[in-house]
Amino acid sequence: MALDADAQAVLRALAEMPAQRFDETTDALAVRAASDARRRPVDATPLAQVETFTLPIAPLPVRARLYVSALDPAVPPPVLMFFHGGGWVVCSIDSHDEICRRLARASGWAVLSIDYRRAPEAAFPGPLEDCYAATCWAAENASGLGLDASRLAVAGDSSGGNLAAGVALLARDRGGPALLHQILIYPPLDPTGDTPSYGECAEGCLLTADAMRWYWRQYLGDPAHGASPLAAPALAESLAGLPAATVVTAEYDPLRDEGEAFGNRCVLELPGSTLRRYDGVMHGFLGMSGAVAKADLCMAFLGAHLQVVERDSRAAPAGGAS
């Protein structure tokens, strides 16, 4: 279908800004600065608790921000680890503050957003190891924050979805922590970039094919790392032992096809998995609440789905995968 009218309006507004080139001469720090400059303030969704603190993880501490929609000591909320997108290079817990607020409000889960180290200063596996260490920290310490550490899931948008999938693989292969679910929102999963959607959505859809290939180069550092399933989860030989996954894709996105191929694998191999495409919108639409109607529809879906995951987990022994 054609781009939604509201998605077209967003693209028209963005077209008025200077275009960023992505080639071998593009400086990552300049891209990061330009991304920060484009950020606009938003009205923050109110929550019962929003707290920023530092996680004492190795090799370096990282900032984290906790979002809790309601405080009830009798029923501590489960914990959703959230890893922000931005091509592993740009964005932060600040850029994704409103997404995390809305996710906590829609789901009732506590959301713990992680400010992992970014590429190219910290290339693969640095960001992934930060996210995994933060997840282990939450499993060991979340109860001290009034949260249900026995019910833990991972989520991320774009490159954060890649990191969430990588954390799920590490948790399986390293023997924990146990995860209930993984939510992968338009994730990059394969650096080869040879799917039809890379050609169909190469330009004009917010995320360009050239930009995505550039982001992959920053994250991988050494191109040989692209052969690792921890960097490219689509290459995982088996998904056995992973938690069920919810995979969200956008029609106008170079990453659409790889996300849907992986989502279909999850549906076949991991009971309880879901693949959902949002037609008429582009990469990054979840962060466009108030401008793109399907952002709100997707958030409502994710919130309701997480409520089901929690309900089902309480009907089963705590600490198990869904």
Nearest-CA neighbor of 100 among 311, 287, 288, 259?
287
For 210, counting Cβ atoms within 10 Å of its Cβ (0-12 exposed, 13-18 middle, 19+ buried), the class is middle
Phi/psi for 17 (5° steps) reads: -90, 155
Give Cβ neighbours of residue 268 (< 8 Å, ≥ 6 apart). Answer: none
Domains, in order of start, for the chain: 5-37+44-314 (3.40.50.1820)
* Of residues 272, 273, 277, the one with CA closest to residue 298: 277
How many residues would you count in the chain? Answer: 322
* Residues designated catalytic: 158, 253, 283
- Digit-by-digit pLDDT tens for the chain (322 residues) are 789 999 999 999 888 777 788 988 899 999 999 888 877 777 799 999 999 999 999 999 999 999 999 988 889 999 999 999 999 999 999 999 999 999 999 999 999 999 999 999 999 999 999 999 999 999 999 999 999 999 999 999 999 999 999 999 999 999 999 999 999 999 999 999 999 999 999 999 999 999 999 999 999 999 999 999 999 999 999 999 999 999 999 999 999 999 999 999 999 999 999 999 999 999 999 999 999 999 999 999 999 999 999 999 988 754 444 4
Strand residues in 61-165 grouped as ranges (E): 62-68, 78-83, 110-115, 148-157
Task: Give the strand order in the sheet containing 244-252.
Answer: 49-55, 62-68, 110-115, 78-83, 148-157, 181-185, 244-252, 274-282
Pairing of strands 78-83, 181-185: unpaired
